[in-house]
Amino acid sequence: MSTTASDLAGLATLLADETRAAMCLALLDGRAWTAGELAAHAGVARSTATEHLHRLIDGGLLAEERQGRHRYVRLADASVAHLLEDLSARLRPSAAPPRGLRAATAAEALRRGRTCYDHLAGRLGVAVTDAMTAAGLIDQHRGFAVTEAGMAWLTGPAGLDPAAFAQTKRPIARGCLDWTERRPHLAGVAGARLCERFITLGWVVRIGTGRAVRVSPAGQRGLHDLLGIAAVD
């Protein structure tokens, strides 16, 4: 199936509205949100949010889930998250500093560490990726691939279940261009499972309800022992 100019323009139109863009960026935290939560986040009425959500669902960017009487939406899949992150990375950094201490603190927290759908991003994500590359666990010279030693490390010292890498349509490793660091961080199955593992261990902790995360004291020790990573500033 070939893509037409009309198809591409239609996709671009979905993200050309600031309210819809704000909703999609919020959903990069990988969790499911209600229409009310997204309305509050975007600063619009719930009825307005619902109209926008219908367009995003119909356009294939979001997926709807129902649990009892509750209706949730999330990004349709990992490819949508990669699209949003890639587009964000191609924007020029804003020349205007964040307004107010709270906004500046939130922006710095996102730069330091955050989730990008289901994997780690920001300086933390890049630090993990760089450490794995330096140790020969990832090869970035041939399209971003997990090496044989890397697979043994993931299912050994890193503690990941080998079944997570079997019969999956997602790539084991994928480079995702980080929109704050302008360098790639690890995505794909390996990135997702490592993020999940670090959160389960309590090494990485969410800050509030957003995408920002921080490394706990246990995580500082664990990441140093596992990959030789010093504190992420």
| pLDDT by residue, tens only, the chain of 233 residues | 567 899 889 889 999 999 999 999 889 888 889 999 999 999 999 999 999 999 999 999 999 988 878 889 999 988 898 888 888 877 765 555 556 666 567 778 888 999 888 899 999 999 999 999 999 999 998 788 999 999 999 999 999 999 989 877 888 998 888 878 888 899 999 999 999 999 999 999 998 777 889 999 999 999 999 999 987 76
* Predicted local confidence at residue 215, as pLDDT: 94
* Predicted local confidence at residue 100, as pLDDT: 66
Q: In whole angstroms, what is the distance from residue 212 CA to residue 71 CA?
A: 25
Cα Rg of the chain, angstroms: 18
pTM score, whole prediction: 0.74
DSSP state string for 181-223: TSSEEEEHHHHHHHHHHHHHHTSEEE-TTSSBEEE-HHHHHHH
* Predicted local confidence at residue 117, as pLDDT: 84
In the block, which residue shows the tokens 């939130």?
106
Q: What is the domain partition of the chain in residue ranges? A: 5-76, 98-227
* Predicted local confidence at residue 152, as pLDDT: 96
For residue 220 the two structure tokens come to: 């500082």
Strands 204-206 and 213-215, sheet pairing:
antiparallel
- Compute the Cα dihedral for 178, 184, 189, 194 and give only its sign: negative
Q: In whole angstroms, what is the distance from residue 227 CA to residue 225 CA?
A: 6
* Predicted local confidence at residue 96, as pLDDT: 55
CB 185 within 8 A of CB 129: yes
Q: In whole angstroms, what is the distance from residue 63 CA to residue 29 CA?
A: 15
- Chain centroid to Cα 169, Å, comes to 18
Question: Phi and psi of 172, rounded to 5°?
Answer: -60, -45
Give the contacts of 179 (CB within 8 A, at least 6 positions apart): 85, 88, 89, 91, 121
Q: 98-131 burial, b for 16+ CB within 10 Å, e for fewer?
A: eeeeeeeebeebbbbbbbbbbbbbbbbbbbbbbb
CB 177 within 8 A of CB 163: no
* Predicted local confidence at residue 133, as pLDDT: 95
* Predicted local confidence at residue 94, as pLDDT: 56
Which class does domain 5-76 fall in? mainly alpha
* Predicted local confidence at residue 233, as pLDDT: 66
